[in-house]
Amino acid sequence: MSCVLVDGYDEQLDDGEWERREERTLLSYIESINAEAATGISAIAPWMKMGRSETADTSYLANHCEACGALQGDWFLSKLDHAFFPQDLEAARRLAVRPVAGHINVEASLSWSSWHDWLALNDSDVRPSD
């Protein structure tokens, strides 16, 4: 099971302008993604691929069962006590972080949480949040 986390992003505002956000965020319901990023993610997590969810009534980049190919869905990605919502630093340290080089351009939902700062990205140490 995998998720996509970014260390900052550019967001298009209602007036069409772009604004840089430095917050680390978890991406979910990725409805579109550039080929370079999709290839990088696929190399690390081949079970993440585009799939159609009748429940969400959309297609998006999601985890799929490696045995049967069934879409696993993104609902649980940002929900308490699920795979990607650790409650303490010890639980966060059990998550494996794999960097994907290059630029990512997506249409996706975003979520923020203090546990994101506990993860080691860019070969840095785990940083407990203040």
The pLDDT-based confidence of 123 (bands split at 50, 70, 90) is very low
- pLDDT number for residue 112: 80
What residue spans of 3-88 are helical by DSSP H? Answer: 35-44
Collect all residues with Cβ–Cβ distance below 8 Å to 76 and sequence separation of at least 6. Answer: 82, 83, 84
Instruction: Give the type of residue at 44.
Output: I
Do the Cβ atoms of 22 and 37 come closer than 8 Å? no
pLDDT in tens, 9-68: 888 899 999 999 888 888 999 999 999 999 999 999 999 999 999 988 999 999 999 999
Look-up of token digits 């997590």: 45
Dist. CA 62–CA 71, nearest whole Å? 7
Domain positions in the chain = 4-118
Report pLDDT for 86.
Answer: 79
Which residues are 25's β-sheet partners? 6
SS3 5: strand
